[in-house]
Amino acid sequence: MEKSKNKLPVFCLGMYPACRENEPFYMIKLEELSKSVKGVDRAHSHSFYMLMIVLNGSGKHHIDLHSYDIEKGQVYFLSPGQVHSWELSDDIAGYSLFFESNFLTNQYPERLYTYSFFNSKGRSPLIELEDEAELISLLFHQAYSEFENHQARRNQVILSFLNILLEKADRIYLRQFSDHTYLPGHALVQRYEQEIDRHYRSHKEVMYYAGLLSVSPNHLNFLCKSVLGKTASQLIYERIGMEAQRLLVHTGVAIKEVATALNFEDPSYFNRFFKKQFGMSPSEFKQIS
């Protein structure tokens, strides 16, 4: 995988061909994506959410530090900030649907934060379609036709397709990963994870996030332990650790620069933090990655 001496690229919707200004969604055929957008096959992240269905072909999909074999009948889900890249076969076919968070939350304020596949840390970022393959494929195809045709109330129709796709996918995800049970407080914990994603570089204190969520630090900690079996602090440290690993693997920056990027004033403190999280130093991790 090619590394860059600069920061990892972050793709926004405006970078894609014929994307209308300020439009909060975009669709493209998978077979056209690599040809139309430079660097899309190399390590990058997004400022938006992504659904991707594979209708034909094969390859490898690298998401954060994990690799998945691309196969027909898969649907992948990515959240803003996740790093991914891929190698696709020449006969690849499918659709990618991108959307900004406000496209969904303006209509369904809390639902986005309860989808397990968009909060899949430690879990699978994909589903395997079985009996539902024909229906899900048809929904993607109809959404793409609506995207291309620019008819009246296009946004509302595409939002409806997106909502149905997400709800159908959620049913499949919960069936395929039956160990994942929705618990009271789950939505708030997932909102907490979203806020960590936004602010982890500058804020490493549970109290800050508790204030954003209008709960006490103790209650937030209780919910995190109840839902995920982890403390509120652990989730912050894990997010910082994940970003440290991403930067060490996907960029050519020095360990000192990674420490600075994550707002560690002293590189030695970053080294101690990393070793406590992963049982090895940053330099040891770079050697085996």
- Output the average pLDDT for the chain: 90
**Is there a single domain that holds both residue 21 and residue 162?**
yes
Domain of 107, in residue numbers: 10-176
The pLDDT of residue 3 is above 50: no
Per-residue confidence at 27, pLDDT binned at 50, 70, 90? very high
Per-residue confidence at 254, pLDDT binned at 50, 70, 90? very high
Single out the residue in 176, 202, 234 at which a domain terminates: 176
Single out the residue in 121, 145, 176 at which a domain terminates: 176
> Is residue 238 a contact partner of residue 229, using CB atoms and an 8 Å limit?
no
The pLDDT of residue 184 is above 90: no
Gap between the Cα atoms of 215 and 136, Å rounded: 39
Gap between the Cα atoms of 195 and 190, Å rounded: 9
In the prediction, which pLDDT does 181 show?
Answer: 59
**Is there a single domain that holds both residue 65 and residue 19?**
yes
What's the mean pLDDT in 168-185? 80
In the prediction, which pLDDT does 123 show?
Answer: 74
Lowest mean pLDDT among 2-11, 17-26, 31-40, 79-88: 2-11
**Is there a single domain that holds both residue 227 and residue 265?**
yes
Tokens 């049982």 appear where?
279
The pLDDT of residue 52 is above 60: yes
**Is there a single domain that holds both residue 153 and residue 38?**
yes
DSSP letter at 4? B
* Count of domains for the chain: 2
Per-residue confidence at 201, pLDDT binned at 50, 70, 90? very high
The pLDDT of residue 12 is above 70: yes
Residue 2 domain-assigned (yes or no):
no
What's the mean pLDDT in 246-275? 92
**Is there a single domain that holds both residue 247 and residue 108?**
no
Our CA angle for 99, 106, 204, nearest 5°, is: 75
Lowest mean pLDDT among 86-95, 106-115, 235-244: 106-115
**Is there a single domain that holds both residue 17 and residue 157?**
yes
The pLDDT of residue 158 is above 50: yes
What's the mean pLDDT in 177-205? 83
**Is there a single domain that holds both residue 147 and residue 197?**
no
**Is there a single domain that holds both residue 204 and residue 170?**
no
**Is there a single domain that holds both residue 153 and residue 14?**
yes
Single out the residue in 176, 203, 238 at which a domain terminates: 176
In the prediction, which pLDDT does 120 show?
Answer: 57
